[in-house]
Amino acid sequence: MKFPRKVFKDAQFVVLILAVFACLLFAVKLVEPFVPLITIVVVIVLTLCTFEKWLTLILSVVGVALYAASWPVTEAWGTWPGVIVYGLGILAWWAGVKEWFSRN
């Protein structure tokens, strides 16, 4: 009797994992249209926090500007120059946000 019970417990565990995975996939599909909005709100909140000091203000605004400029750069000059501008923008923005959070 122990063998069928063990098989049932193992199968129950596998089905539970698959059910959780299916629920997560369903949740991702529900939230997917709102991801750009959520990202914009998070970036705005983190950027507004940096407006307290000039250094963090300049770093975050320049970072966002470089990030926005990376799309036209990619269209004009190709992928790698766009990736470099994108990386510099993210790095500058992150440096401003990190500097502000390390002070507070």
- Two tokens at 34? 């709102």
pLDDT tens readout for residues 26-67: 998 998 888 888 888 888 888 888 888 898 889 999 998 998
CA angle 54, 42, 94 (to 5 degrees): 45
Best CA proximity match to 104, nearest among 96, 41, 40, 38: 96
Residue 11 pLDDT exceeds 90: no
Q: pTM of the entire structure? A: 0.63
Average pLDDT, the chain: 88
Query: What residue segments make up the domains of the chain, in order of their start?
Result: 2-32, 34-103
Other Cβ atoms within 10 Å of 31 Cβ, number: 10
The whole-angstrom separation of Cα 86 and Cα 82 is 6
